[in-house]
Amino acid sequence: MKDLFSVKGKVILITGASRGIGRFLAEGFRDLGAEVHGTGSKPESVEWMKSAGIVGHAADMRDPLAIGQVIQSVHAKTARIDVLINNAGIAGNTPAGGMKEEEISKIIETNYTGLFRSCQAYYKVQRKSGGNIINFASVLGMIGTPLASVYSGTKGAVISLTKALAIEWVNNGFRVNAICPGLIETDMTSMITDRPAIKEKVQGGIPMGRMGLPIDLMGGVVFLASDSSSYMTGQTIVIDGGMTAQ
C-alpha cells in the first residue's frame, strides 16, 4: 500500500505562517516534502521564510483584495494549490460589555471575513480541478468562556461555514474541513503561559493536565491534507486534550 498520509509534492498555502501554529505547520509540511507557501500580515513577518525553504507572501487578512491576489499569483506560478490552510487569526481578551467597535471589526474581519475571502479566491482558481480547504476554528467556537465573546462567535461561524462550503462545493471536487484546537502554547496564549499561577489553574481544567503544543495538531492536519481523508468533508477535528469531552 502507498503511504496514505503522504503530502510529498503537494502545493500547500498556509495563512498566518509567520508565527505559532502556522509557522510550525509550514516547517512541518516542508520537512514532509510539500511545496509550502506562507502568508503573514506584513513583509517583515514573512522575511524568515526565504531562508527556510518556504515561499513567503505578505497579505493582511483584513484587506479585501490581498489574500485573493496571493492565491492568484501562487496558482499562476504552480498551476495548482492542492491544499489551502486558513490558519491566520487573532484573539481578544476584553469583557464583552466593554468591547469597542474597532476591536470587534478587527477580530471578525481577520477570523471570519478574511477566511471566507480566502476560501472564495481559492475556489475561483481551483474550480475546474477541485481542492482541499482546512479551516482553523477553535474549541471556543464550541464552548463558552469569559473574555472571548467575539472570538468565540467567529470560530463558531468558521465551523458552520466549513459545513456550508463543503456541501455547496462538493460537486466541484472540493473537500472543506476544520481543526478545532484546544489551548495551544503560542503568542496567542501568552497571557496564560507568561503567568505560572494562571497556567497551572488553566492546565488543571484540561483532562490531560497540560496545554497543547503546535506539534499536537500536526497529525490531524496531515490527515486532512493527505489523501487518507479523501472521503471526509464538512467535518471538524477537535484536538484539545479532552477539554470539550467534559
Ligand X SMILES: NC(=O)c1ccc[n+]([C@@H]2O[C@H](COP(=O)([O-])OP(=O)(O)OC[C@H]3O[C@@H](n4cnc5c(N)ncnc54)[C@H](OP(=O)(O)O)[C@@H]3O)[C@@H](O)[C@H]2O)c1
| Candidate segments 14-22, 125-133, 218-226, 229-237, binder of ligand X by CB under 6 A | 14-22
CB under 6 A: which stretch of 28-36, 183-191, 200-208, 220-228 binds ligand X?
A: 183-191
**Distance between CA atoms of 94 and 230, rounded to whole angstroms?**
40
Output the CA torsion sign for 235, 184, 41, 80: negative
Continuous segment of H or E residues that includes residue 200: helix 196-204
- Quick one: cell of 200? 497551572
Burial of 229 (0-12, 13-18, 19+ CB in 10 A): buried
Single out the residue of 88, 150, 166, 222 in contact with ligand X (rule: CB under 6 A): 88
* Shortest spacing between CB 86 and ligand X, in angstroms: 8
Min. distance of Cβ 15 from ligand X in angstroms?
6
Q: Is the dihedral of CA 190, 192, 197, 200 positive or negative?
A: negative
**Interaction of residue 61 with ligand X, rule CB under 6 A:** yes
Cβ closest to ligand X, residue 39 vs residue 170: 39
Handedness of CA 4, 8, 10, 13 (dihedral sign): positive
The label of the residue with cell 469583557 reads: 95
Segment interacting with ligand X, rule: CB under 6 A, options 163-171, 182-190, 218-226, 228-236:
182-190
Nearest CB to ligand X, comparing residues 1 and 144: 144
Cα 161–Cα 216–Cα 44 angle in degrees, nearest 5:
75
- Residue 18 contacts ligand X per CB under 6 A: yes
Query: Site map for ligand X, 104-133, x if CB under 6 A?
Result: ------x-----------------------
In this complex, which beta carbon is closest to ligand X, that of residue 110 or of residue 229? 110
Size of the site for ligand X (CB under 6 A): 28
Question: Active-site residues: which are they?
Answer: 151
**Residue 29 and residue 11 in contact, taking contact as beta carbons nearer than 8 Å:** no
Q: Does the footprint of ligand X cover residue 27 (CB under 6 A)?
A: no
Q: Please report whether residue 181 would count as binding ligand X according to CB under 6 A.
A: yes
CB of 183 to ligand X, least distance (A): 5
The single residue among 47, 168, 187, 200 that binds ligand X, judged by CB under 6 A, is 187
| Torsion angle of C-alpha atoms 197, 202, 207, 211, degrees rounded to 10 | -90
Indicate whether 239 belongs to the interface with ligand X (CB under 6 A).
no
In angstroms, the CA 124 to CA 86 distance is 16
SS3 162: helix
Q: Is 138 in the site for ligand X (CB under 6 A)?
A: yes
21 is a contact residue toward ligand X (CB under 6 A):
yes
